[in-house]
Amino acid sequence: MESKADTPDAEMTVSASQSEDKPTCIIVMGMAGSGKTTFVKRLCSYLSEKENKSYNINLDPAVIQSPFPAHIDIRDSVKYKQVMKKYQLGPNGAILTSLNLFATQFDQVIGLIEKKQGDFKHIVIDTPGQIEAFSMSASGQVITESLACSFPTVIVYVIDTVRAENPNTFLSNMLYALSIMYKTKLPLVCAFNKTDILSHEFALTWMKDFEEFEDALNSDKSYLSTLSRSMSLVLQEFYENLNSCGVSAMTGIGFDSLLESVQKGAKEYAEIFLPDIKQRMAINEAQKKEFEDKNIQEFESDKKEEEIEAKAKEESDELNNNLESMYKDFDSLLKDVNQ
């Protein structure tokens, strides 16, 4: 059965040249401690010095003080502490729920950006400190896809260069960057941060000369002291296509080359990701609808706190009760398990 996205549709086609007029969206991701927030601050001030100010969006609901001037801030529409209290959530759950709430309104955000898009060349997005809350969640996906369907979008993955000197940590970061690239299907730039403390030369060496990296791993006496051939192949393929640069969010060095990498990424977007846009838009619409159906009921109704708390407890109690009763009787377990 042919899906809608396969039929040529002049209205829905987004031409490559059209995307040149649109601002480039930079989604900044990084693990806790990578210096992501300082990086975003530096990026915003760099861009405003170099060209027009960028349009900035903060998606971190738990940050206490936003270090950069945000045009749109998730904290304006979602109060993190209140969410924790109202839905009886711990810090993780509250971040996810806050993002969920915001994602249901994200079309409005796109609308706001589109109104002003002539005024700026870049959109800078700061994501939650807890990286999985964004990179691996449904709300993060909806938000990322909405942006990618409207603007050339590049992911900048910030790495703590100092920690990455440990070959295991380096490997982990590369694998994580790869998994983000596959999840989002967007061009990715690796920004090795904190180069004021430690140069990222070793990283470039490891990416160019694979044997050097394996030597470093060996001397570390780690579990993977010899990378399998297939693992080596994976990484080498990845490095060939990877845009990376060294920066210091503290001192500001390296941001020229970062911008170059971002521009390369935007070009990649136009050449490789854009043709797939129609299909992605169709999928995004379907996902958004499903996401909204799931979440909007919860949030739009003016349920009392006790009601919400009771419902959540009821649902989890039901699941647990089902599990308990499932295993109550050994004989039925024996029967079900032994074929």
Partner 1 sequence: MEEITFGQFVIGAPGSGKTTYCFAVEQYLTAVRREYTIINLDPANENMPYSEEKIGLDINELITLEDVMQEHKLGPNGGLTFCMEFLEENYEWFEERIKSLGNKYLIFDLPGQIELYTNHFSLRNIIQKLTKSGKINLAAIHIVDGICLTDATKFISTVLLCMNASIGMEMPMIHVLNKINLLADFPRLRFRLNDFLNTEGLKYILMSEENAEKVRLERLGKGAENEYESIKKGFFLKYKGLNSSIAEIIEDYSSVSLVPFDLTDKKYMAYIIALADKATGFNYADRYSDLEQRLEYDKIIEYMSFEAADDLQEKYLDKDNEDIL
CB of 92 to partner 1, least distance (A): 4
Nearer to partner 1, 55 or 239 (CB): 239
95 lines the binding site for partner 1 (CB under 8 A): yes
CB of 238 to partner 1, least distance (A): 6
Contact flags string 33-72 toward partner 1, x per CB under 8 A:
xx---------------------------xxx--------
Nearer to partner 1, 136 or 197 (CB): 136
Look at the block and give the residue holding tokens 């059209």. 18
Rg (CA), the chain: 23
Going along the chain, which residue ranges are E strands? Answer: 24-30, 55-58, 72-73, 122-126, 153-160, 188-193, 243-246
The per-residue DSSP string of 265-302 comes to: HHHHIIIIIGGGHHHHHHHHHHHHHHHHHHHHHHHHS-
C-alpha span between 197 and 209 (Å, rounded): 23
Please identify, among the stretches 85-93, 101-109, 115-123, 254-262, the one whose residues bind partner 1 according to the rule CB under 8 A.
85-93
Size, binding site for partner 1 by CB under 8 A: 85
Nearer to partner 1, 122 or 278 (CB): 278
Q: How many CB atoms lie within 10 A of CB 258?
A: 23
271 lines the binding site for partner 1 (CB under 8 A): yes
CB of 160 to partner 1, least distance (A): 7
C-alpha span between 317 and 319 (Å, rounded): 5
User: For partner 1, which residue of 76, 212, 233, 260 counts as binding (CB under 8 A)?
Assistant: 233
Residues 202-221 that bind partner 1 (CB under 8 A): none
334 lines the binding site for partner 1 (CB under 8 A): yes
Residues 107-166 that bind partner 1 (CB under 8 A): 129-133, 136-137, 160, 163
Chain centroid to CA 11: how far? 29
CB of 150 to partner 1, least distance (A): 18
11 lines the binding site for partner 1 (CB under 8 A): no
Nearer to partner 1, 108 or 225 (CB): 225
Pairing of strands 72-73, 24-30: unpaired
What sign for the dihedral angle of Cα 125, 56, 47, 33? negative
339 lines the binding site for partner 1 (CB under 8 A): yes
Nearer to partner 1, 4 or 50 (CB): 4
Residues 174-193 that bind partner 1 (CB under 8 A): 175-176, 178-180, 182-183, 185
234 lines the binding site for partner 1 (CB under 8 A): yes
Residues 272-331 that bind partner 1 (CB under 8 A): 272-276, 278-279, 313, 316, 319-320, 322-324, 326-330
CB of 165 to partner 1, least distance (A): 12
C-alpha span between 284 and 277 (Å, rounded): 10
197 lines the binding site for partner 1 (CB under 8 A): no
Sheet arrangement for strand 188-193: 72-73, 55-58, 122-126, 24-30, 153-160, 188-193, 243-246
Look at the block and give the residue holding tokens 């996205």. 5
Of 212, 200, 205, which Cα lies nearest the Cα of 160? Answer: 200
Task: Report the number of secondary-structure helices (H) and strands (E) in the chain.
Answer: 16, 7
90 lines the binding site for partner 1 (CB under 8 A): yes
